[in-house]
């Protein structure tokens, strides 16, 4: 089932769009089955869960961190992850820079945009995105590679479109500024219900859990 789901999704995705399998709460066997279907990027929300799975699967796949990253977990995160998609503050970026320096790594990151400007949600609000990118761009062990957003949750995925569109505009704006050490290459938007709309609005990374693995219990 899981394998077939992945094969079908990959078959339908445009060639330029990368699939991140959002694996929170899934076990190693489920994740291995997804990998057998062609998944090559694992998206993890939790550091401890990632450590357990990483021990068994290792770096034959790429690892993206897609959850809310606490600064006291950064030293573990930088060892496992190939990209951190959810950087939304200078303090978090400074800690990533510091911990990466210690292990001589340059961490590709995405800036998480709170595109719905929801107070309880992670992400930098749109009007502060450029200033944040300019500051992080000065850090030598971080490479800004694009943007990520969740957007508000709706029953009707079509309602997500304005938030994806807004994030794409921020992405194009930052790209046009040609900030040194910043490359706007990846735009990570869309989940099971919304990824088709996100792709129409310019996403080239989609993060899918439920459609691969079934409902989370
Ligand atoms: C869980 C999760 C997803 C995948 O959600 P589904 O609706 O199960 O596809 C995508 N992105 C993030 C950040 C998530 O936490």
Structure tokens, 209: 């859990």
Give the residue among 15, 66, 57, 55 at the shortest CA–CA distance from 34: 57
Rounded CA separation 105/128 (Å): 27
CB 209 less than 6 A from any atom of ligand 1: yes
The arithmetic mean of pLDDT across residues 120-148, rounded, is: 98
pLDDT tens per residue, range 61-102: 999 999 999 999 999 999 999 999 999 999 999 999 999 999
With a 6 A CB cut-off, is 64 part of the ligand 1 pocket? no
Q: Which residues contact 161 (CB under 8 A, 6 or more apart)?
A: 197, 200, 201
Q: Say what the pLDDT of residue 171 is.
A: 98
Q: Tell me the per-residue pLDDT of 26-57, one tens digit each, with 9 for 90 and over.
A: 999 999 999 999 999 999 999 999 999 999 99
d(CA 43, CA 206): 10
CATH number at residue 63: 3.20.20.10
For the chain, strand residue ranges (E) read 18-22, 41-44, 62-65, 83-87, 107-113, 142-149, 182-189, 205-208
Instruction: Give the Cβ contact number of residue 217 at 10 Å.
Output: 4
Nearest CA to ligand 1 atom 6: 209
CA of 65 to the centre of ligand 1 (A): 12
Nearest CA to ligand 1 atom 7: 192
At 20 the pLDDT is: 98
> 76, 125, 124, 112: which is closest to 96 by C-alpha?
76
Note if the pTM is more than 0.85: yes
Number of domains in the chain: 1
- Cβ–ligand 1 distance for 68 under 6 Å, the answer no
Question: Which residues, other chains included, contact 22 with Cβ-Cβ below 8 Å and sequence gap of 6+?
Answer: 43, 45, 66, 191, 207, 208, 209, 212
pLDDT for residue 32: 98
Range of the domain at 42: 2-213
Ligand 1 mean position, distance from CA 208 (Å): 6
Closest approach atom of ligand 1 to CA 216: 8
The finding on whether 20 has its CB within 6 A of some atom of ligand 1 is: no
Compute the distance from residue 169 Cα to the ligand 1 centre, in Å. Answer: 23
How many angstroms does the Cα of residue 175 sit away from the middle of ligand 1?
26
- Beta carbon of 207 within 6 Å of any ligand 1 atom: yes
- Pocket lining: 157 vs ligand 1, CB cutoff 6 Å: no
């Amino acid at each position: 089932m899981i394998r077939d789901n992945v094969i079908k999704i990959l078959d339908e995705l445009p060639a330029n769009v990368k699939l991140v399998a959002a694996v929170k709460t899934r076990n190693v066997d489920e994740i291995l089955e997804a990998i057998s279907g062609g998944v090559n990027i694992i998206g993890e929300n939790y550091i401890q869960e990632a450590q357990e799975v990483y021990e068994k699967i290792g770096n034959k796949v790429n690892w993206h961190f897609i959850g809310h990253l606490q600064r006291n977990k950064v030293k573990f995160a930088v060892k496992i992850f190939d990209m951190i998609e959810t950087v939304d503050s200078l303090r978090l970026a400074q800690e990533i820079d510091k911990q990466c320096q210690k292990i001589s790594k340059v961490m590709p990151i995405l800036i998480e945009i709170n595109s719905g400007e929801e107070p309880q949600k992670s992400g930098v609000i749109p009007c502060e995105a450029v200033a944040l990118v300019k500051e992080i761009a000065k850090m030598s062990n971080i490479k800004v590679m694009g943007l990520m957003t969740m957007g508000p949750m709706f029953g009707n995925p079509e309602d997500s479109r304005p938030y994806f569109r807004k994030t794409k505009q921020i992405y194009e704006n930052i790209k046009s500024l040609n900030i040194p050490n910043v490359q706007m290459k990846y735009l990570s938007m869309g989940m099971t219900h919304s990824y088709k709309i996100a792709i129409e609005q310019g996403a080239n990374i989609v993060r899918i859990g439920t459609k691969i693995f079934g409902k989370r219990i």
